[in-house]
Structure 1
């Protein structure tokens, strides 16, 4: 699937993301493989999550979500990815961390746990940025960060906005028996999943598809949607539509009851 041509004019673009080996890595694998002007990407910031949950609380949340068997499966996969990321000889030429993938493509990588700090903002100003793109960034962008690039900040959200705001939108779209899910690129402000919609493309949910396979597939497709959005900003052809909060709902992380209902309706997580 070819991406939009990006050679006529360059934008200085910075990504802010997290080092997720499951899904975010797939986005960047596809983006780096297919985007034909990587020189315009000034780097990738890997941000640390600033949430209040510690490792034990996060593990408990994942256990409650997946249940015993799927929790073991996911945990085993996670451990395997981490080992392969640390021991490249076991990776078979693949990359199991976002940082390694970026380094392979000659992409500058920055790490921080304070994206809104004065010191970090000062370092970004030196990059002369046109655009910041968030890909599953685990932090809230405050006003000064949002307004720093000339064209602002954009975010990719794997849900059909404005209907599906919040956490794990692919789960909620499947939960509500949607036939399609949305991949949305929207402007960012200080509110979550707010800001005008720059681009939205709908993707069919395939028969028998699991939540895991849907997330993986939409991350890969999302790389192309992001590329087209960046190209439209570069070319001056971008169009926007409103993203009214009154027309949507904010969904939090699913409870055990939600997951039980999900499975009772014949759906699977992995």
Structure 2
């Protein structure tokens, strides 16, 4: 099964989830694509600094720098170190997969190139753009996305923040077909995730993406075996959230919420 990954840079969980797909055995990942837009998390540093202050932001930044050091060392040794890849480029190079950075996956030139690769499935790990019809209909078996909430609840942006902000005791993960609306397509797999009393944004993001990566693998296996079960996504019964504001982050921090 030929798969293309469309996602955004993540040094914590997405590289590990890509490895999980590779280890399924029947999967061939033909390209890993990093989408860089204004909505990408890496371009929201100012929002986090203003909302959480320099202390927590620097602490998160040091963690990311540590991951970059691991990547550099692994690269120097030809990606043969027994370490977890900590970037999209790193995991792609480790497994000899083409890697590209783009800004618009709906661009005609990009669509033409991807069409030539004849993917069976396009997998999105929280890609930061809406896929339009031409892209959605390009893979033979569709585009599927991992969203880190229990849809239809907490659809939209940064569900891990909003579930903590709203003092939820549990959240979840959902793998769903994609359409031209955000987190709107039919559901292929879900699992609930408990939120601990000392949860931070970082720990909850890592927890949900870890569980979500496993659910994605199960969904891919079921699609490959022809045993996939599709459920309706009753969006009218759920909730939708956009990017938090600086004031939302400040309020969260004031109430004891933590980034890391």
- Output the TM-score relative to the length of structure 1: 0.84
> Which is worse superposed, 99-108 or 180-189?
99-108
Mapped partners of 1:49, 1:263: distance in 2: 27
SS in 2 for 1:111: strand
1:130-149 equivalence runs, <5 A: 130-149=120-139
Q: Structure 1 residues 31 and 207, CA, compared in 2 at 3 Å: closer, same or farther?
A: farther
Structure 1 ranges of 4+ moved more than 6 A = none
**Contact 1:26–1:219 (CA<8 Å) still a contact in 2?**
no
Aligned equivalent of 1:153, options 133, 143, 166: 143
Q: 5 Å matches for 1:186-201? A: 186-201=176-191
Task: Tell me which of 40, 46, 62 is aligned to 1:60.
Answer: 46
CA 1:269 to 1:140, structure 2 compared with 1: closer, same or farther past 3 Å? same
Residue 77 of structure 1: aligned partner: 63
Matched, 1:269 2:259: yes
CA distances 1:187-228 after superposition (whole Å, capped 9, x unpaired): 111111111111111111233222211111222222111000
Residues 1:171 and 2:166 are matched in the alignment: no
In structure 2, runs of 5+ residues without a counterpart are none
Aligned CA distance change for structure 1 residues 61 and 263 (closer, same or farther; 3 Å)? closer
Report how far residue 85 of structure 1 moved. Answer: 3.2
Equivalent positions of 1:77-226 (< 5 A) are 77-86=63-72, 88=74, 94=83, 95-226=85-216
Consecutive unaligned residues of structure 1, counting only runs of 5 or more, are 1-10
Q: Give the number of aligned pairs.
A: 256
What's the Cα RMSD here?
2.6
Q: How far 1:87 sits from its partner (Å)?
A: 5.0
8 Å Cα contact 1:26-1:216 kept in structure 2: no
Aligned-partner Cα distance in 2 for 1:163–1:26: 26
The alignment's TM-score, normalised by the length of structure 2, stands at 0.87
